[in-house]
């Protein structure tokens, strides 16, 4: 449990990125209504791969790399929710089961509500990128992206994808929903990259 907790950041103050304020509640923010979860859901991985793959949730849950990890969650609008415990699998462990082509450099995450967000593949391979199905030991509530979402601690929250449906590998850079609407492509919380310049 909590194995990725940063020992250098015992103080909550040190863990708050510039311009962020800690809040107690955990707001749910989305561009539209909560989508229906399809009973035949499979996570599809496609694009710059030698062979497309689909994983059911029960297949993913059985993988030996499943873990619970404590993360802080930083919204670009200025609030941070500290110490959320997510259970899931690291992106890198799942993508390790896919034959990705050498030319793949970018990732576009797709969601059931039509939301998308992009990250460099290099960033996705870091330890804080999780595909999660539990929050604080319970099924993730629908408004927070249940049953399956991603979390990305080092980036503002719009880089995380609620109601995850597909992972697209790309050669070229392609912007997601908010990245096309003025939010920063890099979204680095410590550099305070909130908006595209
Ligand atoms: N599928 C999907 N994922 C999404 C969004 C969305 O509208 N749809 N909004 C993003 C934004 S802007 C934020 S701030 C976070 C909010 O996550 P939360 O509702 O769990 O707090 O989800 C992100 N992921
Ligand atoms: Mo947001």
- Does residue 150 sit within a domain? yes
Does residue 185 sit within a domain? no
Per-residue pLDDT averaged across 56-62, rounded? 98
pLDDT score at 153: 98
pLDDT for residue 172 is more than 90? yes
Q: Rounded to two decimals, what is the model's pTM?
A: 0.94
Question: Which residues lie with the beta carbon below 6 Å from any ligand 1 atom?
Answer: 27-31, 75, 111, 113, 115, 144-145, 157-158, 160-163, 178
Q: Does residue 89 sit within a domain? A: yes
* 81 belongs to a structural domain: yes
The verdict on residue 191 lying in a domain is: no
Residue 197 lies in a domain: no
**Ligand of minimum distance to the alpha carbon of 32:** 1
Atom of ligand 1 nearest to the CA of 31: 7
Query: Does the pLDDT value for residue 59 go beyond 60?
Result: yes
Is 193 part of any domain? no
- Residue 93 is assigned to a structural domain of this protein: yes
Mean pLDDT score, 75-79: 98
Domain residue limits at 74: 39-172
Q: Any idea what the CATH number is for the domain that residue 167 is in?
A: 3.90.420.10
Which residue has its alpha carbon closest to ligand 1 atom 13?
A: 158
Tally of domains in the chain: 1
Q: Give percent of the chain above pLDDT 90.
A: 92
Mean pLDDT on 23-43? 98
Task: Output the residue whose Cα is nearest ligand 1's atom 1.
Answer: 162
Query: Residue 40: which residues within 8 A CB-CB, separation 6 or more?
Result: none
Q: What was the pLDDT predicted at 7?
A: 46
Q: How far apart are CA 170 and CA 168, in angstroms?
A: 6
Tell me, letter by letter, the H, E, C secondary structure of the chain.
CCCCCCCCCCCHHHHCCCCCEECCCCCCCCCCCCCCCCCCCCEEEEECECCCEEECHHHHHCCCCCEEEEEEEECCCCEEEEEEEEEEEEHHHHHCCCCECCCCCEEEEEECCCCEEEEEHHHHCCCCEEEEEEECCEECCHHHCCCCEEEECCECHHHCCCCEEEEEEECCCCCCCCHHHCECCCCECCCCCCECC
């Amino acid at each position: 449990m909590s194995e990725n907790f940063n020992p250098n950041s015992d103080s909550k103050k040190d863990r708050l990125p510039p311009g962020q304020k800690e809040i107690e509640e955990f707001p749910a923010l989305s561009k539209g209504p909560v989508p229906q979860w399809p009973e035949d859901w499979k996570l599809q991985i496609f694009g710059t791969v030698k062979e497309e793959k689909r994983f059911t949730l029960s297949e993913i849950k059985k993988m030996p790399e499943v873990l619970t990890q404590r993360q802080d969650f930083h919204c670009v609008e200025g609030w941070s929710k500290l110490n959320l415990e997510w259970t899931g699998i690291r992106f890198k462990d799942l993508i390790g089961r896919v034959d990705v082509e050498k030319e793949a450099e970018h990732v576009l995450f797709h969601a059931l509500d039509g939301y998308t967000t992009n990250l460099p593949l290099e960033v996705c391979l870091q330890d804080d990128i999780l595909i999660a199905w539990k929050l604080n030991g319970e099924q993730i509530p629908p408004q927070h992206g249940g049953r399956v979402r991603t979390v990305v601690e080092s980036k503002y929250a719009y880089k995380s994808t609620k109601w995850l449906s597909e992972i697209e590998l790309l050669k070229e850079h392609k912007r997601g929903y908010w990245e096309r609407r003025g939010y920063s492509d890099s979204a680095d919380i410590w550099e305070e990259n909130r908006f595209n310049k």
